[in-house]
Amino acid sequence: MGKISEMLAQKQLDAYNKQDLEQFLSVYSDDVVIFEFPGDKVTTRGIDEMRTRYGKLFTDHPNNHAELLARIVHGNRVVDHELVTGRENSEPKKAVAIYEIEGEKIVKVWFL
């Protein structure tokens, strides 16, 4: 499972950096849920909300880029530490994302 998990995390990161919305969404399940960590506060539920959220992000910030600083793969979970740059009126910021994979799709994401 670890290799599939890492491949999915990398595929979505590459698509995110190319701002290829459909390729980005292709690795997520239709009922994906995004949470704020810690806890269970849902920020995005389902592929349609993701399409809206990330479509707007890509349009509003065409130079947005996430550089992978570190990655840990543990079974069906991937933890990525990233440096996000290129957002208008925003300093670079570090982010951590935890991806949970079932089958061959990302089903849950937690952002720290």
Q: What is the pLDDT of residues 99-112, one digit of tens each?
A: 999 999 999 999 99
Is the distance from CB of 110 to CB of 98 less than 8 angstroms? yes
Full set of structural domains in the chain with CATH:
2-111 (3.10.450.50)
Q: What is the pLDDT of residue 38?
A: 85
Residue 87's pLDDT band (cuts 50, 70, 90): confident
Q: Facing residues of 42 across strands?
A: 35
Q: What is the pLDDT of residues 4-53, one digit of tens each?
A: 999 999 999 999 999 999 999 999 999 999 999 987 899 999 999 999 99
**Side chain identity, residue 20:** D
CB 110 within 8 A of CB 35: yes
CA atoms of 85 and 107, how far apart (whole Å): 26
| 65 CB-near residues (< 8 Å, 6+ apart) | 17, 84, 85, 86
What is the model's pLDDT at position 48?
98
**pTM confidence score:** 0.94
